[in-house]
Amino acid sequence: MMRMPVLAAAVRHTTLAALVCALCLTAFAAPAQADSGQGGFVIRTAYTELLNGVYYLNADVDLNMSEEALTALENGVPLTVELQIEVIKHRRFVWNKTVATLTERYQISFHPLTRRFIIRNLNSGEQQSFASYGDAITNLGQVNDLPVIDAGLLEPHSEYTIRMRAVLDIKDFPGPLQLIASLFKGWDLSSDWYAWVLSS
């Protein structure tokens, strides 16, 4: 009666071990090859609109995954992308103050049986299915009408800046994979902060 759970666990451990070995080989590839597959996140454009008393964010983010991340995704490891957003109040004689923070988390996963890529908003639970990785990652990089902050929470006649960045979150990886991801550059995927004035 206990053979099936034991067998399933053994399969999971074998799959994880094979994935760790594959990623190790990728990480130790020749420098010339590694440079071509490093990937990187870049925020192309971002802006806010004030509608009915609420600031909404729109952005176009280029999420170029590294070779290591794509190998993990193809082997069943979901990848989580965080959009980190901050609203900062400018002050003349003291340090600027962060008055609001927002973290939107999205997960991309690959289902080998259906050959579909799934994008799930981890904040809302909403998900979409795509036939190709290209369509999925392009959709993931498009931020449309994301509510950020109520204008009533901001002080009148004060100056505010909003900034955002995109980061690959590895905290939920299995232990051995998390260790590898923390040691090698191919997993260090984070855009620069992109900032603009929050105006009405």
Q: Mean pLDDT across the stretch 64-90?
A: 93
Per-residue pLDDT of 20-70, as tens digits, reads 444 444 444 434 333 445 679 999 999 999 999 999 999 999 999 999 889
Q: What is the 3-state secondary structure (H, E, C) of the chain?
A: CCHHHHHHHHHHHHHHHHHHHHHHHHHCCCHHHHHHCCCEEEEEEEEEEEECCEEEEEEEEEEECCHHHHHHHHCCCCEEEEEEEEEEECCCCCCCEEEEEEEEEEEEEEECCCCEEEEEECCCCCEEEECCHHHHHHHHCEEEEEEEEEHHHCCCCCCEEEEEEEEEECCCCCHHHHHHHHHCHHHCCECCCEEEECCC
Per-residue pLDDT of 167-192, as tens digits, reads 998 887 666 666 665 555 667 799 99
Contact between 46 and 164 (Cβ < 8 Å) = yes
Is the model more confident about 192 or about 75?
192
Per-residue pLDDT of 92-142, as tens digits, reads 878 899 999 999 999 999 999 999 999 999 999 999 999 999 999 999 999
pLDDT at residue 177, rounded to an integer: 64
pLDDT at 194 over 60: yes
Q: Domain tally for the chain?
A: 1
Q: Domain of 192?
A: 3-197
Per-residue pLDDT of 39-53, as tens digits, reads 799 999 999 999 999
The predicted model scores a pTM of 0.77
pLDDT at residue 185, rounded to an integer: 63
Residue owning tokens 């990886």: 173
What span, in angstroms and rounded, lies between the C-alpha atoms of 119 and 138?
11
**Which two tokens mark 198?**
């929050």
**Which two tokens mark 178?**
């998390």
pLDDT at 197 over 90: yes
